[in-house]
Structures are given as C-alpha cells and as structure tokens.
Structure 1
Amino acid sequence: MDSTIMETTRLHRGRLLDHLQLVVRDLKASREFYGAVLNVLEIPIVDTADGYFWADELVVSSPESAASQGVATGRHHLAFQAKDRATVDAFYRAALAHGGRDNGAPGERAYHPGYYAAFVLDPDGNNVEAVHHGEARRSAPSVVIDF
C-alpha cells in the first residue's frame, strides 16, 4: 500500500458506501474528470505513485495498478452528495467541460420529493450523479475517525 494512504490521520465513514473502485482505461483522463467534478463538490483527491488516486470512498485505478486486480470496468453508477442545487448544476458544467457526456441534465427526479440531480458519463462510460436531497437531514454528516 502506498505510504500516502498510511499517513492519513483522519477518515470519514458511515455513509452509504464504504468505498467504490473504478478500474479505468485512461487514468490521466479520469484524473482530470474527477479532479474537476470533485473540486466542485469540495472533496479532496489524494494522488498516489502506484497508478491510482482516491477521494473519500472512491478509488480510481489503472488496470496496471496493484489496487485494480482486474480490468477496466465501465458502466458503473455512483452518486455524490451535493450541498445544494447550485452545486449539482456546477458539477454538471464541470463534468461536461472535462470529458464527461450528458446522461441527464440537472433537474428534479421522482425518487422522492426534493431529489435534484444531474447525471453524466465519465470518460469510461460510468454513470456519475450529483444529488441534493432537498430538505432531507442527516443525523450526522459522517463518523470522523482519528488515528
């Protein structure tokens, strides 16, 4: 495991996913795409020297990375939480400007009242969503784990 991960002293856990890994064909294109959209969502990225990067519960790796143990995945769905509708809109614009393709413009969805989301396809065809749940409230934003 890369030493940059071991140096992490604070983790946030307790959300829906523990982690999600995407094995991609073009790590550079994916780094540019996720760098742009995660910046909008205020989620930092950690780059490693081992052919992958990670952000919170998401790991994106090349097929050559020891972290991948497989081949390019494609067509997965992942959803990022957004703090408001404006952030969903900004996510969509950033994604389209950095190699993403439209898969559902920002707008309300019928999943539940107040569900406002945008969908894009990343450079590998994965369906990536940003969603704001309206007036829904969490009991806590996350569980903070300090080492």
Structure 2
Amino acid sequence: MQLHRGRLIDHIHLVVADLPAAKRFYAAVLGALGIPRGGEADDHVWYDELFISSAESKAALGQLTGRVHLAFQAPDRGAVERFHTAGLAAGGRDNGTPGERPYHPGYFAAFLLDPEGNNVEAVFHGPAKFSARSVVIDF
C-alpha cells in the first residue's frame, strides 16, 4: 500500500445496496483502465482511493451514499472505449458514449451509470507534456 500526498481528494467511500453488483461493475471498468483491486472482504472492496462497502460494513454506519459523479483518468482514448464496453457488459447503463466533449480541446470521455445510479466517467485529456513538477496539457 502507498500513501499519496498533495492530492485534493484523499479517498472516496461509496456505500451501496448491492455490493456483488458493484464489485462486478468496478472490477470491469477499473480493470479496463488498468487499475488493480487493492483488496476485498465480504462487506467491502477497494481500488486505490476508492472504497466501496455494503451498508452493513462497520465503515458505512448503515447509510447508503447518494448519487455521485466519479471521473477516472484514462491513459488514452482506447482505454475510455474499453471502460465503456466493459461497464456495459458488467451491468452498467450508458450515460454518454465515448467521444469528444466540449469541456476543453482533446477532452475524450465516456459515461456510465453504475448499478446504484452513480455517474461514472473515464476521461482522457489528450496528449500531455510532463515536467518534474507538473503535468501540462496542451489545449
């Protein structure tokens, strides 16, 4: 396990009604993006900073999460397309097919609704130039 510092979001916890469906969906879409599962138990699963549990988990306090929008970075357009295909095959519903979006030049994304109705996105921001201190995206 690694601790990452300097990020805006430390972690996200989704509490779901149907954990087996969530496990199938997130295994498929995150697998398509090359993000490995960190671990799992009967009442939870986690991937990097994303923790998903049942309402019965000690971490959940018995309350389901409301609808959220999660956006995962993809390494290229092909990964966005694989994310969308894998998510549909794993029980997700289309919420925006892979394609260019108007947010900025080069924004290529796809959107799915997970089994709980959360809006889950994979986005590729276009070619980037890397430096020792930051990532710069050409617009």
Contact 2:38 2:48 in 1 (8 A): no
Residues of 2 paired with 1:78 and 1:18: CA distance? 14
1:1-147 correspondence runs (5 A): 8=1, 10-49=2-41, 51-137=43-129, 139=133
CA contact (8 A) 2:68 2:118 kept: yes
Higher relative contact order (CA closer than 8 Å, sequence separation 6+): 1
Q: Once the two structures are aligned, what percentage of the paired residues are identical?
A: 61
Aligned structure 1 segments of 4 or more residues deviating by more than 2 angstroms: 10-17, 46-50, 135-141
Alpha-carbon distance in structure 1 between the residues aligned to 2:129 and 2:5:
17
Equivalent residue of 1:104, what SS? Answer: strand
Q: Distance in 2 between matches of 1:125 and 1:119?
A: 12
Q: Is there any run of 5+ residues in structure 2 with no aligned partner, and where?
A: none
Q: What is the root-mean-square deviation of aligned Cα atoms in Å?
A: 1.8
Contact 2:16 2:116 in 1 (8 A): yes
d(CA) in 1 for partners of 2:24, 2:86 = 10
Q: Could you report, residue by residue, the CA deviation over 1:111-142 in whole angstroms, capped at 9, with x for unpaired residues?
A: 1110000000000000000000002445458x
Change (3 A) 1:19 1:47: same
Partner SS state of residue 96, structure 2: coil
Which residue identity lines up with residue 105 of structure 2 in the other structure? P
How many residues are aligned here?
A: 133
